[in-house]
A and B are shown apart, each in its own frame.
Chain A
Amino acid sequence: NAGVMQNPRHLVRRRGQEARLRCSPMKGHSHVYWYRQLPEEGLKFMVYLQKENIIDESGMPKERFSAEFPKEGPSILRIQQVVRGDSAAYFCASSPETSGGSGEQFFGPGTRLTVL
């Protein structure tokens, strides 16, 4: 069973360009979470999605950032008109549909975004 997959692993963009980060959850998982880690800082929650629905976007910047998790395909975190302050590691995590269990979230390897 493959783990959470993220691509690309490294992404370089110039200021003003768009960045699209992809996350494929573990098989059977329908809950996806995005976290951001700025250099030398801890992880900060951004958004929590289920298939076709945004459940909690309280950590998402109000402008330029959007996320989706379509019925088919990976979850996408989209950053429009990137600025240097967007340079960070972006981690995706997934969890299964059923409640209970260990409450564990399974994390991907992350996408390192560098804005020049």
Chain B
Amino acid sequence: DAKTTQPTSMDCAEGRAANLPCNHSTISGNEYVYWYRQIHSQGPQYIIHGLKNNETNEMASLIITEDRKSSTLILPHATLRDTAVYYCIVGKGDTGRRALTFGSGTRLQVQP
């Protein structure tokens, strides 16, 4: 699986958009980008995933660059409950059937 690089920490004001970047320059053609988050010692929670196209769901949007070497997770209106560690994971499709490789993630602090 491709390695990912994320900033260690970020701050965001409540109500503003939080943009979390991830570099995955060694991603291969059949690898997806997945985002999970872990809110203070709870079990990780799936957020979104994508292959080439930008994706949006009720939680977030995922923007993947055309060369697929980086991506950005966007939380459009961050709330205090979005304070968490966010993990960008790259792997072949169907990680529902494979181990997830968690890196260090980005610790997002949403400020009131």
Contact = CB atoms under 8 A, between A and B. Distances in A.
Contacts of A45: 99-101
Nearest to A43: B102
B42 interface: yes
A2 to B, nearest CB: 14
A94 B107 CA distance: 25
Interface stretch (B22-30, B60-68, B72-80, B90-98): B90-98
18 contacts: A35-B100, A44-B102, A48-B98, A59-B99, A91-B44, A96-B96, A100-B94, A102-B46, A103-B32, A103-B34, A103-B95, A103-B96, A104-B49, A105-B95, A105-B100, A107-B45, A110-B41, A110-B43
A48 B95 CA distance: 12
A72 to B, nearest CB: 22
A77 interface: no
B7 interface: no
A102 B44 CA distance: 15
Residue from the set B44, B45, B95, B101 with the largest chain A CB neighbour count within 10 Å? B44
B15 interface: no
B contact face: mostly helix, strand, loop, or mixed: loop
A89 B42 CA distance: 10
A109 B42 contact: yes
A58 B99 CA distance: 10
A107 B43 contact: yes
Interface range, B side: 20 to 34
A31 interface: yes
Contacts of A102: 46, 49, 96
B9 interface: no
A93 B89 CA distance: 16
Contact of B103 (A42, A95, A104, A108): A42
A105 B94 contact: no
Contacts of A59: 99
A99 interface: yes
